[in-house]
């Protein structure tokens, strides 16, 4: 081969290689054709050319042009009619790989044609499908060598493949957009659905349409029933009279025998299909296990009645549908939990109202004394309680004209409440209780109600404090099987003398501020919590409250309040607050304690119920 021919062949191969690389990179059809046409003309040593593409209606559209002569500038009159190459192509006469055609468009044009009169036409195909026509223009007397025609044929084949690839990419892009729009719409519909069943039916219907399948279904694993249940189905042939949801597999909740993908499902399944599934006549199959929190809850499956092997990109789309299903099931689970939580909160609110009815609606008016109380549960209901009990006169004192009225529970202002505590005459005694059940929440509240009732029943006839705690302990052990117990401090105040008789059932020692010394001391009395041993012994003590003395009863929610360094508020801090505020009234003392505890905790949440009762003697009656 002469050196010149060798160099020309090298140039042609390099141009074809560059053309192939350009077409392989391009995904935009317009960009593909413009770049390819210029390289093909360079390969042929020609200046002008154009490409027609055949549309869906069979019409030819000018898709690319390069260096057109002024006589056929686009747009212009020369392009208003079809030319001979299009008619030849449509009539099947453009049957050779390359055919030189006298250009009717150039023949009828007026103006500078640059000597062009004919063009070599190449059919652009993908397999048997005609995609368009490539035309490269020449002068009337020009001749194209066989080797050049071969190059043009190769370039046409490459261009046809590129056009098919670009169209496929465009179709895939359009389909992805359609799929994304459908998935977005489905997602919005699922979010706005108020009921699970319509949402599931919507999902399987869209799933079958997106995957161009005959059927789609969600089969739920009913673990307690040991069966698989058809919860939603589209495209299935189902019995009309059967109750919904239908049992698909009565012997097992999980469809372990179904393959992930199959072209012929009955043959590729690991076991015989359940009758209802076998009746559908499915061949093509794709299934995914649906999990919530790592626990399998069912299977999403899509099927065709003809053999079909689902592709990887279809499996990815199916995976998105499965994720939407998981989100729908999770949303429904959270919704049901929210409903249950709301119902529980309503029940707890009612329980709080009922529990509030067990506490005194107000503090009693006792001549010579100021009494205030405070209660705040750590949760909606708690285990702390306090009580004031009007007791009969002690032996040797004149009886009351009538028995003290019983405190009855009534409904007032939308909440359960008792009547105001009656004022006590000078001949009466007052029983004072503060207690703490060793638990929190609903169990503590129920045990609190039991303990409060039994303590009141034990004290109402005027027994001494130690006897009250002994009797209450026996009753609690007889009535309770919950394994809970309660710490209790019970005292009897004689307002006429200021004598306070008390016993302690394992409760925090109350603090007494003595105005005579200006000091605070705990009221110690030995005793064990109620509800543990059958026959405990309680030490009974007595003292006289003098004018200005202050008695603070409290539960451990006060002293065991914790700061961010995990330090406890403690008895010493509480005693210091009482000592500093003893000259104030009981309500101011309670407020001072609460403020000190809050400042100490520094924003830490309340961990236990807080209860206080403050009694202050104001004069010597």
pLDDT in tens, 292-304: 888 999 999 999 9
Neighbours of 552 (CB within 10 A): 25
Cα–Cα nearest to 159, from 34, 11, 324: 34
How do 410-412 and 429-437 pair as beta strands? unpaired
pLDDT of residue 427: 42
pLDDT tens column, 505-545 = 999 999 999 999 999 999 999 999 998 888 899 999 999 99
Confirm whether 3-172 and 194-336 share one CATH topology.
yes
Whether 81 has a pLDDT exceeding 90, the answer reads no
Structure token pair of residue 424: 């006590």
Residue written as token pair 């191969």: 13
Taking the whole predicted model, whether its pTM rises above 0.75 is answered as no
Topology at the third CATH level for domain 359-617: Phosphatase 2c; domain 1 (3.60.40)
- Domain positions in the chain are 3-172, 194-336, 359-617
pLDDT of residue 404: 39
> How many whole angstroms separate alpha carbon 444 and alpha carbon 483?
11
96-104: Cβ within 8 A, 24+ apart: 97/122, 97/123, 97/149, 97/153, 97/156, 98/122, 98/149, 98/152, 98/153, 98/156, 100/138, 100/144, 103/135, 103/137
The residue-averaged pLDDT of 201-223 equals 91
Alpha-helical (H) ranges within 133-236 are 146-192, 196-210
Q: What confidence category does residue 242 fall into, taking pLDDT thresholds of 50, 70 and 90?
A: confident
Ranked by mean pLDDT, the top range of 194-198, 261-265, 617-621 is 261-265
The residue-averaged pLDDT of 280-306 equals 93
194-336 CATH pick, 3.30.450.40, 3.40.640.10, 3.30.70.2610, 3.40.50.1000: 3.30.450.40
The residue-averaged pLDDT of 357-376 equals 88
Structure token pair of residue 308: 């079909």
- The class of domain 3-172 in CATH terms is alpha beta
> How many whole angstroms separate alpha carbon 551 and alpha carbon 441?
28
């Amino acid at each position: 081969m002469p050196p010149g021919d060798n160099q020309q062949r090298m140039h042609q191969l390099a141009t074809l290689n560059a053309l192939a690389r350009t077409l392989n990179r391009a995904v935009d059809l317009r960009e593909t054709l413009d770049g390819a046409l210029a390289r093909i003309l360079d390969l042929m040593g020609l200046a002008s050319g154009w490409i027609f593409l055949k549309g869906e209606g069979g019409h030819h559209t000018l898709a690319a042009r390069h260096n057109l002569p002024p006589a056929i500038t686009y747009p212009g009159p020369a392009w208003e009619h079809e030319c001979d190459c299009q008619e030849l192509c449509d009539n099947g006469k453009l049957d050779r790989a390359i055919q030189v055609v006298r250009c009717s468009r150039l023949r009828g044009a007026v103006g500078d044609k640059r000597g062009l009169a004919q063009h070599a036409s190449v059919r652009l195909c993908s397999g048997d499908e005609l995609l368009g026509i490539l035309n490269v223009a020449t002068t009337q007397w020009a001749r194209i060598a066989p080797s050049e025609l071969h190059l043009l044929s190769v370039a046409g084949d490459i261009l046809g493949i590129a056009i098919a690839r670009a169209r496929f990419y465009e179709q895939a892009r359009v389909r992805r957009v359609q799929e994304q729009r459908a998935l977005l719409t489905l997602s919005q519909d699922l979010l706005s659905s108020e009921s699970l069943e319509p949402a599931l039916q919507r999902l399987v219907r869209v799933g079958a349409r997106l995957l161009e399948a005959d059927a789609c279904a969600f089969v739920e694993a009913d673990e307690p029933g040991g069966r698989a249940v058809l919860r939603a189905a589209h495209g299935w042939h189902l019995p009309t009279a059967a109750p919904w949801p239908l049992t698909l597999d009565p012997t097992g909740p999980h469809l372990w025998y179904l393959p992930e993908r199959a072209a012929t499902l009955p043959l590729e399944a690991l076991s015989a299909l359940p009758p209802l599934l076998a009746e559908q006549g499915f061949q093509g199959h794709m299934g995914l296990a649906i999990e919530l929190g790592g626990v399998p809850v069912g299977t999403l499956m899509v099927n065709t009645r003809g053999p079909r092997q689902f592709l990887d990109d279809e499996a990815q789309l199916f995976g998105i549908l499965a994720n939407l299903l998981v989100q729908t099931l999770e949303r429904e689970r959270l919704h049901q939990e929210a409903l249950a939580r709301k119902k529980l909160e309503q029940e707890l609110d009612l329980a709080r109202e009922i529990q509030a009815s067990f506490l005194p609606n107000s503090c009693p008016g006792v001549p010579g004394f100021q009494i205030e109380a405070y209660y705040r549960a750590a949760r909606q209901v708690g285990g702390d309680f306090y009580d004031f009990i009007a007791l009969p006169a002690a032996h040797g004192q004149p009886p009351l004209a009538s028995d003290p009225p019983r405190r009855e529970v009534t409904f007032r202002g939308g909440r359960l409440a008792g009547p105001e505590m009656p004022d006590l005459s000078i001949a009466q005694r007052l029983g004072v209780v503060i207690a703490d059940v060793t638990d929190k929440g609903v169990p503590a509240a129920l045990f609190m109600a039991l303990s409060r009732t039994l303590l009141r029943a034990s004290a109402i006839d005027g027994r001494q404090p130690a006897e009250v705690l002994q009797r209450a302990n026996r009753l609690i052990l007889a009535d309770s099987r919950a394994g809970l117990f309660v710490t209790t401090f019970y005292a009897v105040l004689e307002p006429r003398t200021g004598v306070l008789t008390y016993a302690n059932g394992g409760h925090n020692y109350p603090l007494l501020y003595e105005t005579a010394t200006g000091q605070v001391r705990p009221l110690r009395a030995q005793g064990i919590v109620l509800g543990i041993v059958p026959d405990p012994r309680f030490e009974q003590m007595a003292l006289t409250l003098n004018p200005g003395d202050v008695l603070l009863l409290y539960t451990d929610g006060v002293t065991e309040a914790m700061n961010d360094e995990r330090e406890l508020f403690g008895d010493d801090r509480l005693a210091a607050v009482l000592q500093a505020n003893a000259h104030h009234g009981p309500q101011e003392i309670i407020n001072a304690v609460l403020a000190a505890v809050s400042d100490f905790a520094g924003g830490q949440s309340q961990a236990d119920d807080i209860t206080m009762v403050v009694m202050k003697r104001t004069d010597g009656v």
